[in-house]
A and B are shown apart, each in its own frame.
Chain A
Amino acid sequence: MLLNLFSELRAARVPVSLRELLDLIAALEKNIVFADMDEFYYLARAILVKDERHYDKFDRAFAAYFEGLENLNEHIEALVPEEWLRQEFLRSLSAEEREQIKSLGGLDNLIEAFKQRLEEQQKRHSGGSKWIGTGGTSPFGSGGYNPEGIRVGDAGERQGRAVKVWDKREFKDLDDQVELGTRNIKMALRRLRQFARTGAADELDLPSTIKQTARDGGLLNIQMRPERRNTVKLLVLFDIGGSMDAHIQVCQELFSACKAEFKYLEYYYFHNYVYESLWKNNARRYQESTPTHEVLNTYGQDYKVIFVGDAAMAPYEVTHIGGSVEHWNKEAGYVWMQRFLEKFDKLVWLNPYPKQHWQYTQSTQIIRQQLENQMYPMTLEGIEQAMRYLAT
């Protein structure tokens, strides 16, 4: 049974390993929780999930697992003889109600209707109903019967509550594929770190001073070393205006996070795609643009390049001479992009559009192809992946 949950979790990409599964089994053996779905859910969550980002995925996988249990329904119905249900049912009715049942077409019809209702309820309210059977409580208990038909009421209420815990999906916001804020971006950007001690030796290396001094029998032997710095250099190019207006906030957040995180950060703006000029100040872009050639020649190949843009445009803006929507470009956009690719070792494109929509835009496909798939969605996970690629 637990293996099902385990594989369900793996399928939902919750990082669980055998070790956690064994832990869970050990916990169950020690009877930390017993016969309570609610508590089992909490226990499984505490043991299997190690980060609140995965809570939402866990909730969904758990719901799926639980529905799987639901499908055992027929099996359980076979275990509880229908005769028994009928007996129990009839016993709970008053003479008056029995009369009404007859007027409504007899017990068989009603039970049929009840079963249907039961199925409906499962779909909407997974879990709440199955446990009626297994738990041995009468399905027609409190408020179960209604002269106008049969309603599955508060029987098995406890389980219903438990189901809601994961169906509520309270931790949706914490899923790293959704939320994005400066702090989180900074965390993601931290993947891109290359520490090195370079420059003048101006820091006292205390441990090795002590070591050397002790080795020299107490004669002070001072050791110096250069300071440790993040040596990553970053060149960020933002698409600005037009369809990017919708993504201003997220771009701002990315920008401010980058600024805080990297010492060597250069940025430029472009519109839709790169052509022969880029600019730094959007208000004065026509007065103060920088030729792209100059940018290509200024920064060394060890700069990591990040393009930020939605990559949604007319295909000819990428592929054709004169394709730009703003001016007559003598060389097609992809030629310029090719120069970037040749010059810099590592280059990625961050796209604020959700990944699943990319396939519907031809230009996105073209660009992605040109970049050899180094296009990432602008979610935390996407940024992290991009940084991981840049860092290698």
Chain B
Amino acid sequence: MKFAGTDSYVATEDLKIAVNAAVTLQRPLLVKGEPGTGKTLLAEEVAHAFNAKLITWHIKSTTKAQQGLYEYDAVSRLRDSQLNSERVHDVRNYINKGKLWEAFEAEERVILLIDEIDKADIEFPNDLLQELDKMEFYVYETDETIKAKHRPIIIITSNNEKELPDAFLRRCFFHYIAFPERETLQQIVDVHYPGICQALVSQALEVFFGIRQAPGLKKKPSTSELVDWLKLLMADGISAETLRERDANKAIAPLLGALVKNEQDVMLLERLAFMARQGNR
């Protein structure tokens, strides 16, 4: 069974091959790319394509690797012991399963998404080496080994905030989602809004690429922002003509808030637009 994109997700050739290689050889797939190019979405779509359950483990700066395996709730056991509860005699009652355990335990193959692994502490990936490699881990409290019944398909996303250790990288396959070319972008828009007015799309893409090219932007708008912006444009009933005419009347494109996310960038675009108008005179 091969992943070939879905009707709601456009996968480029290289992405398909990376996913299929990772699935076939049962290795985790590490996905990087600009924010908003569909890294997290990929896992959802792979789950959709393989008709498997998706288990998502969102990583925060405070997440520990151990939390993905299990947590031993010592405090409630302590409380129970003071309340003379019967539960206290079985340590199993105080072990909370983590996402990895959940994935290993599943009766059929699942997709495990480890989202934004770079947010965690620098040692986090190292603590998961053995677990991802062998797909098993040991529970000290109960003296048992949890082994994956079906090796889950693991997709890991990273925003490059921290460098990942080599030993970890060696165990993964890697794909970098480059910012899509115009053709691919057109396909993505078509997939999201079938039947959208083509003139509007091409005009919007024009504006969009114009903004992306503006020098010195703090955050370049990416695919997800484009999709949101188009939605707004359609909701507001803005036509292709309005977009085209904007140069003459307004400084910047309508509903720009969807594309540009901080005030320095808005100012920058206004200034550029102003300079462009000056130049035209």
Contacts and interface: CB of A to CB of B under 8 A. Distances in A.
The 7 A-B pairs of least Cβ separation, nearest first, read A46-B18, A50-B169, A52-B176, A42-B14, A42-B17, A50-B174, A46-B173
B21 A27 contact: yes
B255 interface: no
A45 B14 contact: yes
Given A46-B14, A46-B175, A50-B172, 7 more contacts: A15-B166, A42-B13, A47-B21, A170-B178, A171-B176, A218-B81, A218-B82
Given A19-B170, A32-B17, A214 B27 contact: no
Given A32-B20, A39-B17, A20 B170 contact: yes
Contacts of B20: 32
A52 B32 contact: yes
Given A50-B30, A50-B170, A39 B21 contact: no
B25 A23 contact: yes
A39 B13 contact: yes
B90 interface: no
B41 interface: no
Given A19-B170, A26-B25, A42-B13, A214 B18 contact: no
Contacts of B163: 187
27 contacts: A19-B170, A20-B170, A23-B27, A23-B173, A30-B25, A32-B17, A32-B24, A39-B17, A42-B17, A42-B18, A46-B18, A46-B22, A46-B29, A46-B174, A46-B175, A47-B173, A49-B174, A50-B30, A50-B169, A50-B172, A51-B32, A171-B176, A171-B178, A174-B176, A187-B160, A210-B74, A218-B81
Interface string A14-31: 010101100100110010
Nearest to A184: B160
B75 interface: yes
B23 to A, nearest CB: 9
Interface in B114-158: none
Interface of B: 13-14, 17-18, 20-22, 24-25, 27, 29-30, 32, 74-75, 78, 81-82, 160-163, 166, 169-170, 172-176, 178
Interface in A127-176: 170-171, 174
Name which of A15, A51, A213 has the most chain B CB atoms within 10 A of its CB.
Answer: A51
Interface residues of A, number: 31
B78 A218 contact: yes
Interface of A: 15, 17, 19-20, 23, 26-27, 30, 32-33, 38-39, 42-43, 45-47, 49-52, 55, 170-171, 174, 187, 190, 210, 213-214, 218
Contacts of A30: 24-25
A52 B176 CA distance: 6
Contacts of A174: 176
Nearest to A47: B173
A94 B169 CA distance: 59
A32 B25 CA distance: 10
Given A26-B25, A30-B24, A187-B163, A43 B17 contact: yes
